[in-house]
């Protein structure tokens, strides 16, 4: 039976620090919700190898991060965790948080099947109808974005725009990193990040106000015979919609917390292995909108300014870039 990665002995008492460092980095990335396939790519590129000297695979790493011993814990026959007094490569709280990320009744081996989508929320829109883009695999199973067709539950989409996710995300990375590398942009990143977080905080305050108004509306309807059911429902639905939309936008803006501040020697390398939350934070910090238009020809794999319009975020008196399509 092979030893557990990170330990020199089968009793989990002697830590192999050269391997423990990899576990800590992998755990940190997992806590940022980076998928196992992306984490193992990073580990393999950094030269980490399994106990047998092979390259990492998602299922193998998932099993290591799911082993209680890395947090100085053990598991009884009922699935309860308890402390063993052994060394802790990662804190027990981090271990429990990683384990809680598993789907119910899903073994650790299945975690490598998750797929990441860079563009989320209202950032990506259809260039034809301005509806929000959604993640949607193609018939062949490849990742993609599309404008969903209008339905009774989700009205508004035209269903006429679809784009391969790899092509779009590569295009976005090239343009965003090129902009981020400019000295005049990197000089104001910290200030810009704070501006966006202030905007998110204002949305959170508005949500609190609307939730109070929603509660007061319910109390008024219960106590006042002058407020009709139709009027109550209309007002309640409007407040509920505003709360939901503001919450989505606030979560999107709050992702900029993950954007690194300070010099990054190799932005391309950083981007390749950055957690998804960090990449999404960069997009949110740099862009207000990503508009995707139909392909010129069916099956086209060309992504350029005719296909994707980028609206760059303006930062106070020193805008990063003029509104443009690039």
- The pLDDT of 16-31, averaged and rounded, is 92
Q: Which two tokens stand for residue 10?
A: 């089968």
The answer to whether 190 and 184 have CB atoms below 8 angstroms apart is: no
Report helix, strand or coil for 287. strand
Whether 71 shows a pLDDT value over 90: the answer reads: yes
Cα-based torsion angle of the residue sequence 98, 104, 110, 115 in order, rounded to the nearest 10 degrees: -80
* Per-residue model confidence as pLDDT tens digits over 273-291: 787 888 888 898 889 999 9
- The pLDDT of 56-83, averaged and rounded, is 89
According to DSSP H, which parts of the chain are helical? 17-31, 36-45, 58-65, 92-100, 165-180, 183-186, 189-223, 229-254, 267-273, 276-286
**Rounded to an integer, what is the distance from CA 188 to the centroid of its chain?**
24
The answer to whether 134 and 146 have CB atoms below 8 angstroms apart is: yes
Q: Which two tokens stand for residue 165?
A: 């996710």
Whether 325 shows a pLDDT value over 70: the answer reads: no
* Per-residue model confidence as pLDDT tens digits over 234-265: 888 889 888 888 887 787 778 777 776 655 56
Distance CA 195, CA 205 (A): 16
pLDDT value at residue 230? 84
Whether 156 shows a pLDDT value over 80: the answer reads: no
The answer to whether 289 and 326 have CB atoms below 8 angstroms apart is: no
Q: Which long-range contacts (CB under 8 A, 24 or more apart) does 45-50 make?
A: 45/272, 45/273, 46/22, 48/19, 48/22, 50/5
pLDDT value at residue 311? 94
The residue with greater pLDDT, 140 or 73, is: 73
**Burial of 136 per CB tally in 10 Å (0-12, 13-18, 19+):** middle
The residue with greater pLDDT, 66 or 184, is: 66
Q: Given pLDDT bands bounded at 50, 70 and 90, which one contains residue 83?
A: very high
pLDDT value at residue 317? 44
pLDDT value at residue 109? 42
Torsion over CA: 7, 51, 32, 102 (sign): negative
pLDDT value at residue 293? 94
Q: Given pLDDT bands bounded at 50, 70 and 90, which one contains residue 324?
A: very low
Residue in the structure block whose two tokens are 């008024």? 220
- The pLDDT of 141-146, averaged and rounded, is 84
The answer to whether 97 and 114 have CB atoms below 8 angstroms apart is: no
Whether 76 shows a pLDDT value over 90: the answer reads: no
**Beta strand pairing call for 287-292 and 308-312:** antiparallel
Closest CA to 273 of 49, 39, 62, 56: 39
SS3 content of the chain, % helix, strand, coil (to 5): 50, 10, 40
Whether 206 shows a pLDDT value over 80: the answer reads: yes
Contacts with 118 (C-beta within 8 Å, 6 or more apart), sequence order: 165, 169, 172, 276, 279, 280, 283
Distance CA 95, CA 85 (A): 15
Indicate the DSSP class of residue 109: G
Phi, psi of 241 (to 5 degrees): -65, -45
Give the residues across from 73 on adjacent strands: 83
Distance CA 86, CA 51 (A): 20
- Domains of the chain, CATH where assigned: 17-113 (3.90.1750.20), 117-198+253-326 (no CATH)
Phi, psi of 324 (to 5 degrees): -160, 165
Q: Given pLDDT bands bounded at 50, 70 and 90, which one contains residue 316?
A: low
Phi, psi of 29 (to 5 degrees): -65, -40
**Beta strand pairing call for 124-126 and 287-292:** parallel
């Amino acid at each position: 039976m092979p030893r557990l990665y990170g330990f020199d002995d089968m009793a989990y008492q002697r830590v192999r620090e050269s391997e423990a460092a990899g576990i800590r980095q992998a755990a940190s990335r997992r806590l940022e919700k980076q998928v196992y396939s992306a984490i193992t790519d990073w580990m393999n590129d950094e030269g980490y190898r399994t106990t047998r000297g092979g390259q990492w695979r998602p299922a193998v790493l998932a099993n290591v991060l799911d082993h209680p011993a890395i947090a100085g814990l053990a598991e009884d026959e009922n699935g309860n965790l308890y402390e063993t007094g052994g060394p802790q490569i990662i804190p027990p709280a981090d271990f429990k948080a990683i384990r809680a990320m598993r789907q119910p009744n899903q073994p650790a081996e299945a975690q490598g099947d998750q797929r990441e989508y860079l563009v989320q929320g209202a950032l990506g829109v259809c260039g034809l109808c301005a509806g929000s883009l959604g993640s949607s695999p193609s018939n062949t199973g490849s990742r993609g974005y599309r404008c969903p067709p209008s339905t009774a539950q989700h009205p508004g989409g035209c269903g006429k725009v679809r784009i391969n996710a790899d092509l779009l995300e590569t295009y976005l990375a090239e343009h965003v990193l090129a902009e981020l590398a400019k000295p005049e942009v990197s000089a104001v990143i910290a200030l810009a990040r704070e501006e966006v977080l202030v905007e998110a905080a204002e949305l959170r305050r508005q949500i609190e106000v609307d939730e109070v108004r929603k509660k007061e509306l319910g109390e008024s309807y219960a106590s006042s015979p002058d407020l009709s059911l139709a009027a109550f429902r209309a007002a309640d639905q409007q407040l509920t919609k505003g709360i939901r939309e503001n919450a989505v936008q606030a979560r999107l803006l709050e992702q900029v917390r993950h954007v690194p501040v300070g010099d990054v020697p190799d932005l391309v390398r950083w981007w390749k292995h950055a957690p998804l939350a960090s990449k999404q934070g960069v997009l949110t910090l740099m862009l207000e909108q990503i508009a995707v238009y139909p392909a010129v020809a069916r099956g086209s794999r060309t992504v350029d300014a005719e296909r994707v319009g980028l609206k760059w975020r303006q930062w106070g008196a020193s805008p990063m870039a003029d509104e443009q399509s690039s």
